[in-house]
Each structure stands twice: as C-alpha cells, then as structure tokens.
Structure 1
C-alpha cells in the first residue's frame, strides 16, 4: 500500500538538511588544512597546531556526512518527499540538482578517505568536489531565493517549517 507524498518535510528531514549544510560549509572553508597537514607529514614535519586540528575535524566531519546522508536517504525512502512545485522543466532541474547533491555528498567523503589511505589519484579527485559544491550551492540557494521572493510559492518554507503530523 503506497502512502500519498507528504506536502512538506519532517522536522528530522529539515534538521538533517541544515546540519549537513553547516558541515559542508565548514569543510569548504577549512578543508585546505587537510592538504597542509598531509604536506607537512610528507615532508617529515608536523602540521601546525591549527592545521592539525582542522585536518582532524575535516576527516571526522567527512565521516559524519556519510552517516548523516545515509540517514537522510533512509528517511527519504521511508517518508517520501513533497512533490515539486513545478512538474515541468524547473521541477526536473530541481530533481537533477538534488540527485547531484546526494551523489557529491557521498562521493566527496569516499574519495577523501581513499585519498587519505590510498593516495593518488583519489586525493586529486576529491579536490574537484569543492568547486562542484560551490556551483551546486549557489544554484540551489539562488533557486530557493527565486522561489521565495519571485514566485512566492512556498518552496523555501518547506525546508524551514516542518510539516505537522
């Protein structure tokens, strides 16, 4: 028996979205510390205090992203998601963007771990995630703001206010 699609996101889905977003922003802002720490170790030295601490945070937060994305995908399967506001081209673009986000949210930590433990080419592949994330985030945020302030269709509100029930 299939259930109708929800009209909004649950508190758990919204919370996971924003926690993952915050972690991704942290990773983008401070991820270079991992490269500095690896370089220092390759040269036989010790990473500077801040680089060492931020590299460790980068490592563990990457693993956290994998776990949180797995939970988010499980909730998505179990509960469903609201139907797109537009079933046309913009709805298809939104679905494509969300699929790319999920792919990148899994691929970035996996390639980061492979780069850390197996070396190249995985480290190089992992570095491509940063500009891809930036492009996706700008597109995603731009679309959310367009829906909120131009179309006034409630799309952004669905990720801010949980559906009751």
Structure 2
C-alpha cells in the first residue's frame, strides 16, 4: 500500500495552492481603490474587477481550506516515515496553514463586508502565509533534492487503498 493522502486531499491541496497566487496578484487593487476614493476619483473598472476576484477567491480558499481540515481530521493521511522532530514540525506547519488561511479568509470577509478596521491584520496575515509557503517550498525541496525521499510523492500520488477518495 502506498502511503500518503487521498485523491480528494491532494486535489484540494493543489487547488488551494493554485488559488493563493491569485490573492497576491489582485490584492493591490484594494489599496488603489481606497486611494482613488479618498482622492475623490473614480476607481478603475479593472481594479474593481480585481477586488471582486480577490474577495470571492478568498472566500473560496477559506471554504476549501475548512473542507481540507475536515477531511484531515476525519480521514487522516497515513503517517510519514520521518524523524520524530521533523514529523512534529511538519504537522505543526500543516495545522498552522489551516489556522492562518482560515483566519485570513475570515479577516478578509470582515474587512470587506463588516468593518475595514481589521484590514491591517489581514495584511499581516498575508505576509505570514507568504513566509509559511516559503518554508513549505524549502522543506519540499530539501526532501526532494537533499534527502531524496518520497515525501513529495505523498502529495502527488494518491494513497493506494480501498478508500482512495
């Protein structure tokens, strides 16, 4: 039996990973819109479009991450064969991703639809996520290029058992 994650968990991982850059590419539109409004100008229609993409993509990421957390709790991946310290760090980083990304989506929703006063926390959250993604990439590269183990395969090749979904 191949260890690792089920197909649904892998699909959610890569879908979320693909949507995160959208957030960084569209986030600047919000500042431009607020600046234009403060200056008494009409924001560009492209900035308004980007802002909407940013909001709806953020809500989708939050929902998908909540689903991914639920799947992780109800259908945990098979344990990785990693040293004890590294395994604990990986688990902490993964659960940190769930917490920070769900909190980020919640803060974005609150900033957009309830009160803009939480926007500075939303900006801090984006920087925290960026740092966590950099750490995640570094760990994946280390496992692949230095250790030459099958860690990356766990998130590419679905688990091979009767309940693979």
> Is TM > 0.5 for Structure 1 vs Structure 2?
yes
**Which is worse superposed, 94-103 or 40-49?**
40-49
Q: What's the CA shift for 1:154?
A: 0.4
Partner of 2:86: 90
Determine whether 1:155 maps to 2:155: no
Partner of 2:115: 118
Contact 2:19–2:61, Cα closer than 8 Å, also in 1: yes
User: Structure 2 unaligned runs (5+)?
Assistant: none
Taking structure 1 as reference, are residues 146 and 43 closer, same or farther at Cα in structure 2, changes over 3 Å only?
same
Aligned pair partner of 1:100 in 96, 101, 105: 96
Contact 2:104–2:122, Cα closer than 8 Å, also in 1: yes
RCO higher in structure (CA 8 A, sep ≥6): 2
Equivalent position SS for 1:126: helix
- The total of aligned residue pairs comes to 159
Contact 2:66–2:98, Cα closer than 8 Å, also in 1: no
Contact 1:23–1:65, Cα closer than 8 Å, also in 2: yes
Contact 1:9–1:158, Cα closer than 8 Å, also in 2: yes
User: Structure 1 unaligned runs (5+)?
Assistant: 1-5
Contact 1:144–1:156, Cα closer than 8 Å, also in 2: yes
